[in-house]
Amino acid sequence: MLYVVGVGICKEHLTKRAIELIKNADLIYGSKRALKLAEDYISCEKRLIKYCIEEYSRIEKESIDKNVVVLSTGDPMVSGLGSKINGIVEPGISSVQLALAKLGIDLCDVAVVDAHAKKAENLEELLKLRHLLILADKNFDVSVFGDKEIYLIENLCMRNENIIFGKAVDLDVKSDYTIVFVRR
């Protein structure tokens, strides 16, 4: 069996279901950060995952005769591996949830946009209908929002977690783990 398991983004974000799957695994893949978040419950072999389609299909074959768990930081269905690897997905707490909790904004009032290592599309059209919650990296240019006041939520659950509020034109994305919030 192949499971894609969300590990959350803070220490102690793991659900009891996720912990059970990790404990029962024969082999575990993940990023350095994901393996670290789950380390207390890993008793089998663990390997760093490569982010490419060949690796995903190799892991799928490998899981035919053993219990393989692929860890995903946050939730596997939020800019994650859940839609890329053909396994059973176990949800985890995502940075989106944490950002919304800090902002006091409901998910049903936003559009979540993946601008992590890719170009975000339809920002202008979406902003007419919803607030934007953008998963951004250093390459994302917030000056497109001009004089609008926005939030930059940086490095959630890391030692250098930080929230900045100001006019978009005056701000820069300085961390690859940044969430940009723009009010409709």
| Binding footprint of its own copies on the chain (CB under 8 A) | 8, 10, 12-17, 20, 75-80, 82-83, 89-94, 96-98, 100-102, 104-108, 111-114, 122, 125-126, 128-130, 135
Measured from the CB of residue 128, what is the shortest distance to its own copies in angstroms? 8
When the beta carbons of 43 and 169 are compared against its own copies, the nearer one is 43
Please check whether residue 152 is in contact with residue 120, taking contact to mean a CB–CB distance below 8 angstroms: no
When the beta carbons of 75 and 154 are compared against its own copies, the nearer one is 75
When the beta carbons of 12 and 54 are compared against its own copies, the nearer one is 12
Measured from the CB of residue 91, what is the shortest distance to its own copies in angstroms? 4
Please check whether residue 160 is in contact with residue 179, taking contact to mean a CB–CB distance below 8 angstroms: no
The CA–CA distances, whole Å, from 169 to 124, 131, 134, 152 equal: 16, 18, 16, 13
- Would you give the DSSP letter of residue 50? P
CA 43 to CA 41: how far, in whole Å?
A: 6
Measured from the CB of residue 152, what is the shortest distance to its own copies in angstroms? 19
CA 122 to CA 113: how far, in whole Å?
A: 9
Measured from the CB of residue 3, what is the shortest distance to its own copies in angstroms? 11
